[in-house]
Structure 1
C-alpha cells in the first residue's frame, strides 16, 4: 500500500525510507522547482522479519554515529539549511555516542543500551518501520529505532541485490562521490574547488588505474580464486544491479539525493540529467580508496634515507646510524605489544649487513611532478559564481570550498596517516560469566554521512550484521555472525617498497634525471605514461570558476615513479611498489568467508579466512569460548639482507622473491609467520606494534604509545578478575578521554622540575596545576555532561602549549636544526586533539597516535638516572645534566604559560579563538548536504561493538 508522508512528519523533517522524503516547510520556497511528492518506492505494509539463528542472547550491541540514513533530497537539504530540520535516522546515534564520554563512570551492563544499540538479528514485529521488496526474492526491513536495513533473501542473487538497493537508499551520493575519487575524477563530478583538486591529486597517484587495469582485476579474481572468486564476482554484480535499480527508481521518482542538483548533474525543474550507472569496476576503484586509507603500510623509504644521511652528516656514519636507528624504533623493547606472551614473529627487521641499498646523493632528490597545464580556476583559484535560481542560491555557501573539506582525510602524503581503530578483548578465564568479552571497532573518521553503513544480510551462505564501507557492501566487513563477532584495526606493516630504477635512453646516449626510459633486466624500456585530464565548470554547489589541469604519472614494472635523484652520480627514478597494487579486490574472499556461517565455526576457521585478506589489518575474533587475533596482509618475501626501510636497487637480485611484474605478484610470507594468537589472557590494539620482532612501517612504536592507555587498564581488570562488558567498556571510555602526555610523560617531567625548588611563583603555580591534573587522571573531560568546560582547563592549556616547545627545547640543540627537521618530518612532534597540524587534521577525534612522547620519556629517564631499555643514541635534554635539563624545561614552560588561550587555540571556521572545548570537539565533516553539531572529544572508534556470546552452535 503506497502512502504519503504524514504532515506531522513533514514538519519534523522525517522521511519515509525508500521514498521521496518530507517536503519540509522550506519546500514552499522552491516554488515550481520541484515536482509534487513522488510515491514511496515499492513500499509494503510492515511485517515481521524472521530472525536467523542468534546466539548472542541480547548481549551484542553497537553504535555508528551520526546515523544509518545518509541520504537527503533537495527539499530536505534546503529545509536543513534554512530551518535546521534533518531526515529521520540521520543523527539518532550521535547523542548516545557522545554521552558515553561523560556517562561511562557509572556504566553497568544494564545501562549499555543507553550508549549503544542492540545488534540482535532481525526486527521484532512491533519495531518494524517499513518493508521494501525490490524483488520477489528479497525484503528490506527497517527498524523504528535506527532505520537499519535488515536484508533477507531467499536466493543468493536476491540477497545481494537487496544489499545494493539498500546501499542506494542510504548512501547513493556518497558512493558516487567515492567512485569518482577512486578514479581521480572528482573535479569534473563535484567542481574544481581546491579541496576537490587536492583529493584527486592525493588518491589517484596511489592507484592510477586505467579502465583496462580495473577490468583485469575483476578477471584475475574470477580466474584465480576458484569457486569463491566466481561467487564473489556474481555477488558484486548482483549488488551493482540492486544499486542501479534504486538509482533508476529514485531518478524517475525524483527522490534522489539533492546533491545531484546542487552539483549540476540533474536539473531541479525538468529532471533532465543523468546519474551515471554503476559497474563492477567502480567497486574496484572505490576499494582502492578504502584500502589506501586503512589497509596499506610502508613507503616513505626516500624520506627515511634522507633523514639517515642527515644523522650521519651530523654525527658521522657509525654514531649517526646508531642515533637514527634509535629514533626509527624498529624493535623497541619497551613498546606495547598486542601479542605479549613473548612469541616472536620476525618481519622486515634490520639485516646485519644490508645489500642493494640505493641511497641518494646529497641534494639530488626531486619529487616527481604530478600536476601540469593548469588553466582557469586550476591556475588562479578565482571564484565566478554560477547563476542559479534565487531560492537555490541560499545553498551556495554550503559548498563554497568544495564538496569535501580540504583536510577531509588529513595528510594523505604522510606515511603516518593511517590508524585510529582499537580493540579490547578478555578471555573467558577472566570474565564474570566465563565467556569472552570484546569491545572493538574501526575508527574511520567522522563524516556526514558516515563512510560506513549499517546492514544485516541473511540469505543462502550469508548470515551477518554490522557495517560495510559504502559502495562495497556485498558482505558485512566488520560485525557479527550467528555466534561470533569480529573487528579490525589498521596494521601498517611494510607492504610497500621503494626501488631505484636505472634511467637510460633508447639511443644509447647519456640519460638524465628526466629520462623517460629505464632498465629492466638489461633492457631499456619506456615508462608507461598515465594521464588524467580534468576540467570543470561552476555549479550551484561549487562556484569555482571554470578550469582544467592534467595529472600525470609514470609507471614502471617496479611501480609508480615518486622521485628522481642520482645514486653514486648516476640518474635514477625512485618508484613505489605496493603488494596489493592491482589486487584491490582480492580481499573480498576473506570477507565472503567472514559472512558464511558454514565456514566460520571457531577461532581457527576465522584465522584461515583472514589469511585471504591482502590488506594490512589486525583482525580480532570473539565467540562464547575463544578470543583470537590474526594479522593479515600480502607481506612480500624480500631478497636476503634487503633493508625494507630504505630504497633498494631495481635489480633481479634485490626483487621480491618470485616477483612477476605482469600481475604484480610475488612470494608472500606464509600464514604461520604472521602475528597471531588464540586465547591469550587479553588483547589490546590501538595501531600499536603487533608482536616481538615484527617491524612496523613507521617511527611510532616506542616506549610511550597510546596503546599503553588500553594495556594498563585492561591488564588491571584481568588481574582483578570478573571482567564484564560494562567494565571493559569503561576502560575503553576512560582511555578515550585521557591525555597520553599527561598520563605517561608528565610524571617524568614533574620529577625533573621538582628536583629543585621552583623560585618563580608563576611557574610554581603552573606546575601545581599540572600536578593536580595528573593526580586526577590527566583527562580531557567536561565538569558535567554538556558543560563544555574541562575540569582542569588551565593545566590542559599549559600542556597543549608546552609540549611542542619542550620537545624542541629538549632535542633541537643536540640534534641540530637540519636533523631535527628531518626527524620531525618522519614523526610529528604532537597529535593533541586540538592540533590541526596532526596527520588526521582538526576536529577528527583520533589523537595521540603519532608524537615524540616516547623519545621524550626515554631521554628524561636517562637524565634522571632511571632504567631505560633501548635507549636513544645520545642524551639530549640539557646535554644529559639534570640541572641543565630542568632549566631547559622551565624556560619552555615559561614560554608556554605566557601564551593566552587565544594563542593556544587560535580558532577556525567552527570555533572562536580561545575556546578550548570547541578546539577539541569532533565535527562530522560534511560530504553531503546534512551537517551535525560538534560533540565532546573522545578518542575511540567510529563504529564500535560490545559483545559477549553466552552460547555457541
Structure 2
C-alpha cells in the first residue's frame, strides 16, 4: 500500500497533465526489429554478445594530449589535434534530435561500443611491448588494448592512459597531495581546490603506501593481482613519459607551467609511482563516492528551530524539513522493499549539540606570504573550479527496464556517470582484452587499469552516486597536555581519559609566476589536525566545555580497497549473472548505486562501507567521542539495498529504498528523479520499450525544468484561485501557462538559434523562484531559522548556476559552478510543493509541520506569490543572467550553456544545456554466454 502512495503522490494539475502527455507522445517509438539490420553492418568478435546493440558517448573527445605547438595553433588558428572534440557534436545534438530518434539513428548520437576495430577502421596500431598491442579506431581514436600476458595488458593500459591524459593525471595526483599550486600555479581557484582536498583526505607518503600494502596483504589472490596490475600500469605510464620527453611529444602544458624549457627541453616530468594512484583514488572517492558529514549544519538547523518554536515543536519542524523518510519521495526500489539504515532513535543518547554562537570553522591555512595572503580574484584562472569538492557539481543517472516490457524481451539500459564537463575529460574511454580482463567503457584518468563503468562480454554496468551516510561527526573534549585549562584552540584531546596530542598533517606549498599563471609568487602551510575520531573540522563549546568537532569517514585510510570490486567487474569469469555482479559490487567501498543488465536480467546494488552505529545514536547529529557511541562494525551485504529483475529502475541520486535514510536534506516529494520515474513508468505501462524510446525518456527529462513540471502547476493554482486582474501579472501568468503546456522545456526555437522557445517565461520563472521561496517561508520561519535552513539546503540550482536565493550563513550553501549542465540536484522544490498543496487544501503525505505561505491563508499566499512574480517580471535579462568571462549579460542561452572547462591549453565550443550524464551507455544484449 505504501508503494502506491509513494508512486502516485497526487493527481497532477491539468496543465501538468497536458505537459506530461505531450512529453509521453514524444517517447512513443514503434517497436520495430531494427536490431537485425544494424547487426548485419559488421561482423562481431566471438566474445561480443551485444551484436551491435551497445553504444556509448563521452565528450568532448578521447585525445587529451596537445603539444606546445598544438596549443599555440589552437589559440592562433583554431586548429586542434585529432579526436579532441569529435564526440562533442554528437553528444550536443541529441537535444534537437531526440524527438525523432529510432534504434537505427542512435548511431548519429552515440558511438559504436562493440569490441574490437574492423580492419578498414584501424587508424593506428602500436606495440609498446611485444606482449601488447594498442589499436586506435578512425572514428574516435579510442585505445583498444589487447595483451597476451596480464602484465603486458596492464602495461598497455598505462601507456595508453598517458598518451591520452598525462597532464590531467599529473594535475590530480598533485591535487590529492595538496600540491596543486606549486605544480600548476597559485591562482585562487587552485589554492581553494588543494585546500578542500587536503581537508578531506590528508595523508603522509607512508600512509599512502600502507593502503597499498594492506590490499596486497589482506585481499588474497585478487589483492596480489591488483598490486601487480597497478605496478604494470605505472610502468606503462612511465615508459610513455620517457618516450614523450625524448621525442618532445609530451603535453605542452609542461612548457607553459615552467616544468620544461620550451627551447632547451631542460626539465623533467616526474615519474609515476603506486602511491600516486592512491592520491588519485582519494580525489575521486571524495568527489563521487562519499556521503554524510553534515551533522554540524543539521544541529544548527535543529537549534534554530527550537529557539523559534520551543523544543517539542522545533523538533517537529526540523524533522519535517529533514525529510528522512518522506512517503512521497521517489524510490529506486519501488516495490515495497525496506532496508533500514541510519534511522534516528526515539530518544538519542550522546548528542553533543553546540552552544549557540560557539561554532567556528577549523583554521587550515598558516603562514601565508605573497599572493597567498590575498583572497581577491586575480587574472589567473585555476585549472579546476575551486569549489569542485565543496559544491555539488553533477551527478549521474540510470534508466533500466526489464525484458518483460521491451520490444525484443531483452532488458534495456540507458545509464552513465555525471562527472562534469572538462577538456580533456576526467574520464577516458578504453577497451581492455587480456588474460582475466574483457571490457570496454570509461575509467578515471590515472586509474584506468580497469574499466570502471562500461560493458563486458555479455553484460553492462554503471553507477550513480548514492551518498548514504558513511561519515559521522564526533565531539572530542579538548585538553592541554601541561594540565592547564583548555580553550577552543587547544590541540590535544581526551582519548580514553588520557590527554593526547592531535596529529598535525602539514603540507607546505609555494608557487612562482609562470607563462600560464599571472599570479604573483606566494606560499603557505596547510595543517589538518587528526584524532582517533577523525579530522578536525570545527571548534565549539558544548555546555561550556571546549570541543573539536571531527569528521570520521569510513573509507578514510581505505581509498584503494575498492580495487578488487572493479577487478571483478572486468573479469568475465567473475561476473556472469546478476548475483555475481552484486558480489563484485559488494567489494566496492564507495557509496554508489550500481546497475546491471544482460540479455535476461537486470539488477541493482548499493555499495558502501556502511558503519554500524549503536541503536541509541542519532546519525545526523554530532555525537560525543565516547566508546559507547562509536561504530561497532560494518553492515553486512544483505542489509544493503539490492534487487534483481524489478520492472524498472531509475536513479538520479535519489532515495534508494524505504528505511534507507538520506544523509542530508532534500529527498522529498519533488526530486529530479521524478522526471525519470514519470517517463519510464509510462513506457513500461505501454510495453514494447525500445532502446530509442528509453533514450528519449532520458533526454526529455534532460531538457525539462523540474521546478516547472512538478511545482509550477501548484503555483498557478494558487495565483489563479481568484481572477488575476492586474494586466502585467496576467500576462506573466499566461506566459508561464503556455510554457507549461509546451512541456516546460528549455530548448531552442530551432537547432542553432541560441534562443529559447518560451524565453520570456523561462526568464521570469528563473527570477521568480528565489523570490517566491523567501516570501513564502521567511516570514513564518523567521530570519535565523530560514538562514540555517538555506545553509543546509540551497534554495535553487538553476541551469545557469545563478538565482540561488539569499546568501546564507554557510560559506558553501550558495556555491555554484556555472555552465556545468547538471541541474536541479538540490533546492526547495519539495518544500514549496508540500506547502502550497497544504494551503490549497490538497492531500499531503509527510507534510511540513506548519503552513507557511501567507501563514496558511490562501488569499495572503496568493498575494505574496503575485507580488514576487511581478518583481521577477520587472527584472531585466541582464539582471537575471549576469555576464561572465564566457557570456554577455542577458544572454539566456549562453548562461545555461555547457562549457567544457579547460584542464589544459585546448578549448572547445560552447554547447546547449542538457541535464544528462557525461559518459553514457545505451545497451541491449540479445545473447548471453
Please report the TM-score for the alignment, with normalisation by the length of structure 2: 0.93
Mapped to 2, the partners of 1:378 and 1:639 lie a distance apart of: 44
Structure 1 position 382, deviation (Å): 9.1
Picking from 761, 764, 767, the partner of 1:801 is 767
C-alpha distance in 1, partners of 2:780/2:350? Answer: 32
Question: For residues 215 and 922 of structure 2, what CA distance do their matches in structure 1 show?
Answer: 34
Alignment of 1:425-824 (within 5 A): 425-657=400-632, 667-824=633-790
2: distance between equivalents of 1:640 and 1:522? 24
Alpha-carbon distance in 1 for matches of 2:794, 2:375: 30
| 2:844 aligned residue | 868
CA contact (8 A) 2:44 2:114 kept: no
Contact 1:140 1:150 in 2 (8 A): yes
Instruction: Find the partner of 2:348 among 354, 358, 371.
Output: 354
Pick from 346, 362, 367: which aligns with 2:361?
367
Note if contact 1:130-1:143 (Cα within 8 Å) is conserved in structure 2.
yes
Q: Is the 8 A contact 2:65 2:165 kept in 1?
A: yes
Distance 1:263 1:88 in 2: 24
* Alignment pair present for 1:175 and 2:177: no
Assess if the C-alpha contact under 8 Å between 1:740 and 1:848 holds in 2: yes
Structure 1 residue runs of 5 or longer lacking an equivalent are 1-47, 384-398, 658-666
Match of 1:847 among 804, 812, 823: 823
Report the Cα offset of residue 876 of structure 1.
0.2
Q: CA deviation at 1:51?
A: 4.3
The answer as to 2:169 corresponding to 1:191 is no
Please give the residue correspondences for 1:275-294 in structure 2 after superposition, counting only pairs within 5 Å.
275-294=269-288
Name the residue aligned to 2:258: 264
C-alpha RMSD of the superposition: 1.3
> Does structure 1 conserve the Cα–Cα contact (< 8 Å) formed by 2:680 and 2:697?
yes
Distance 1:892 1:539 in 2: 49
CA drift at 1:507 = 2.8
Equivalent residue for 1:392? Answer: none
How far, CA to CA, are the matches of 2:619 and 2:207 in structure 1? 27
Secondary structure at 1:849 match in 2: coil
Question: For the residues of structure 2 that align with 1:762 and 1:570, how far apart are their CA atoms?
Answer: 58
Give, in whole Å, the separation in 1 of the partners of 2:592 and 2:390.
20
SS in 1 for 2:312: helix
Whether the 8 Å contact between 1:49 and 1:141 is mirrored in structure 2 is no
SS in 2 for 1:831: coil
Deviation at 1:400, TM superposition (A): 4.6
SS in structure 2 at match of 1:939: coil
Measured against aligned partners, the alpha-carbon deviations of 1:861-883 in whole angstroms (never above 9, x if no partner) come to: 00000000001011100000111
Give CA-to-partner distance per residue, 1:888-946, whole Å, 9 cap, x none.
10001011011011111111111101110000000010010111111010000000000
Q: In the alignment, is the contact (CA less than 8 A) between 1:344 and 1:692 conserved in 2?
A: yes
Mapped to 2, the partners of 1:282 and 1:881 lie a distance apart of 60
Change (3 A) 1:153 1:626: same
In structure 2, the CA distance between the partners of 1:381 and 1:359, relative to structure 1 (3 Å rule), is closer
Q: Deviations over 1:586-620 (max 9, x none)?
A: 00000000000001000000000000000000000
- CA shift, 1:506, in A, is 2.0
**Taking structure 1 as reference, are residues 685 and 342 closer, same or farther at Cα in structure 2, changes over 3 Å only?**
same
Partners of 1:422 and 1:442 within 8 A in 2: yes
Gaps of 5+ in 2: 1-41, 805-813
Other structure's SS at 2:634 match:
coil
After superposition, the Cα gap between the structure-2 partners of 1:228 and 1:407, relative to the gap in structure 1 and judged at 3 Å, is same
CA distance in 2, matches of 1:784, 1:350: 51
**Residue 28 of structure 1 corresponds to which residue in structure 2?**
none
Matches within 5 A, 1:366-405: 366-380=360-374, 400-405=379-384
**CA distance, structure 2, for counterparts of residue 157 and residue 928 of structure 1:** 31
Any idea what the Cα deviations from partners look like across 1:842-867, whole Å, max 9, x if unmatched?
10000011000000000000000000
Q: Residues of 1 paired with 2:327 and 2:657: CA distance? A: 11
- What SS does the corresponding residue of 1:126 show, helix, strand or coil? helix
Q: Separation in 2 of the partners of 1:74 and 1:735?
A: 41
Residue number in structure 1 paired with 2:24: none
Give the corresponding residue for 2:216. 222
Q: Distance between the aligned counterparts of 1:534 and 1:429, measured in 2?
A: 58
Partners of 1:355 and 1:187 in 2: CA distance: 44
CA shift for structure 1 position 50: 9.8
Q: Give the match for residue 858 of structure 2.
A: 882
Which residue of 2 is the match for residue 36 of structure 1? none
CA distance in 1, matches of 2:487, 2:673: 47
Instruction: After TM superposition, list the pairs within 5 Å mapping 1:899-914 onto structure 2.
Output: 899-914=875-890
Match of 1:830 among 780, 793, 796: 796
What secondary structure sits across from 1:796 in the alignment?
helix
Distance between the aligned counterparts of 1:669 and 1:799, measured in 2? 44
Equivalent of residue 873 in structure 2, options 869, 887, 897: 897
Pick one of 413, 428, 437 that aligns with 2:390: 413
The DSSP-based 3-state class of the residue aligned with 1:738 is coil
